A and B are shown apart, each in its own frame.
Chain A
Amino acid sequence: MSLTASSIGRKVAMALSGIFLVLFLTQHFSINLLSVFSESLFNQVSHFMGNNPIVQFILQPILIFGVLFHFVMGFVLELQNSKSRSTSYSVYKGKTNASWMSRNMILSGIVILSFLGLHFYDFWVPEMNYKYVQVLPLDQNRYFEELVHKFESPVRVMIYAFSFIFLSLHLLHGFASSFQSVGLNNKYTKSIKSFATAFSIIVPVGFVFIAVFHHINKF
């Protein structure tokens, strides 16, 4: 059996794609946070990310592949796991031995996937349309206004906040768990878990803060 066809190979692939997405999330958060402190700096960095050929034509396709791979593999594994027990227990006390987050990764994953649909519709599709369909002139100062405009709607801010709660729940299990999957369980595990927990709370809360900040600042 090849590495990718084995249960451990799939588990490692899920972990590595998850770690890759965490790295992406970190850079996305860092750039978004700039919008709170400096409009011009946010515009400069966004312009660079949106027009640099390495980012656009190498890193962006890798990211899209990483996202699709993580979600498709997640669904495939969930389907396989559901077949491993044909008769369910009439009484099953899952909460006595495992966290809610660890037992509901597929649920939090579906919420995040739905959110990504909205996020692509909000930002990625208009951006692709601006640059590659309509081929409008480069405007280095448009990014901040576009961002603020999106967060004028309280409904959108609430949807974002709700989605980021699920992202936090997903990360609370997934981030630390990915180190276990790649074989790392030693004296550093406690520190890794503490860091992963802090990251899983701080980054999603930070994203929500940015959305609320721009929503309030607009009025």
Chain B
Amino acid sequence: MNLTLKVWRQPNSETKGKIETYKIKDVSPDMSFLEMMDVLNEQLMSEEIDPIAFDHDCREGICGMCSMFINGEAHGPDRLVTTCQLHMRKFKDGDTITIEPFRAKAFPVIKDLAVDRSAFDRIQQAGGFVSINTSGNTQDANAIPIDKHDADKAFDSATCIGCGACVATCKNASAMLFVSAKVSQYALLPQGKVEATDRVLNMVNQMDEEGFGNCTNTGACEVECPKGISLENIARMNREYLFASLKG
């Protein structure tokens, strides 16, 4: 496959970026998208051009590091996959592919396609945890009976890898799907109920302070989420937040 790539190039967070066009030849349809980017970078380095910076780590859809906005969609045209799981067979010979970073005020560009998603870390630090006694007398989690339905829902919420596709996709750059998944995974379990009030208040406050937009229920985040996190989580977080606010 021969492709034309239009890639966002930005030397650093202070400098304005622009789209650069590159041609790449003999791309195998069996390559992953990131492997294609590796080949492009080798080509650029041989031409003494600065290689394109992009985030990646596990390359098997678990870590949530890869973050490209490909042809107008987070993680590209495929569904329920991250960029590293996207294969070049999803494209056709002669295609032009536009690759941009995840864009949001709360996700500033570090360089090229790499963005700073530490806003998510700060939201997690605000309440996305369960405090436990680590003195050696910790209760075995399996000793607490949990309804199978709730356990499954909590697990589904916990599959969020925090990649930020929801923010990148949302027309308002809202982080509600991410935050709601993190709130839900604890809210559904008995271990999480102890700190439920503070958790949802603190996490939502941190989300607002980071400058994410407001959710308008377009549902785009759910469609583009590589882990299929449901909008049901956002409704649950809204309920949790309302009750927590009234409770104080």
Give chain A's interface residues, CB within 8 Å of chain B: 1-3, 6-12, 77, 80-81, 83-94, 96-99, 102-103, 105, 173, 177, 180-186
Contact = CB atoms under 8 A, between A and B. Distances in A.
Contact of B214 (A7, A92, A182): A7
A183 B235 contact: yes
Contacts of B173: 81, 84-85
Interface string B148-173: 00000000000000000000010111
Interface in B175-192: 176
Contact of A98 (B223, B236, B238): B223
Contact of B171 (A2, A103, A180): A103
B104 A7 contact: no
B223 A9 contact: no
Contact of A96 (B73, B174, B231, B232): B73
B134 interface: no
Contact of A7 (B69, B73, B204, B235): B204
Nearest to A86: B105
Contact of B216 (A83, A96, A105, A185): A105
Given A1-B208, A84-B212, A97-B169, A91 B105 contact: no
Given A91-B71, A98-B223, 12 more contacts: A7-B207, A8-B241, A10-B214, A12-B238, A81-B172, A88-B103, A91-B98, A94-B171, A97-B218, A103-B218, A180-B231, A180-B238
Given A7-B204, A81-B213, A183-B238, A89 B69 contact: yes
A91 B223 contact: no
B112 interface: no
Given A81-B172, A94-B220, A180 B234 contact: yes
Interface of B: 6, 17, 19, 69, 71-73, 98, 100, 103-106, 169, 171-174, 176, 201, 204-205, 207-208, 211-220, 223-224, 231-232, 234-239, 241-242, 245-246
A93 B72 contact: yes
Contacts of A91: 71-72, 98, 100
B245 A3 contact: yes
Given A8-B237, A91-B100, A85 B213 contact: yes
Contact of B72 (A7, A87, A89, A185): A89
21 contacts: A3-B242, A6-B204, A7-B208, A8-B242, A12-B242, A81-B172, A81-B216, A84-B106, A85-B213, A86-B105, A87-B17, A89-B69, A89-B100, A90-B98, A90-B100, A94-B220, A97-B220, A99-B218, A102-B219, A181-B238, A183-B239
B244 to A, nearest CB: 9
Given A84-B212, A85-B213, A177-B217, A11 B238 contact: yes
A182 B238 CA distance: 6
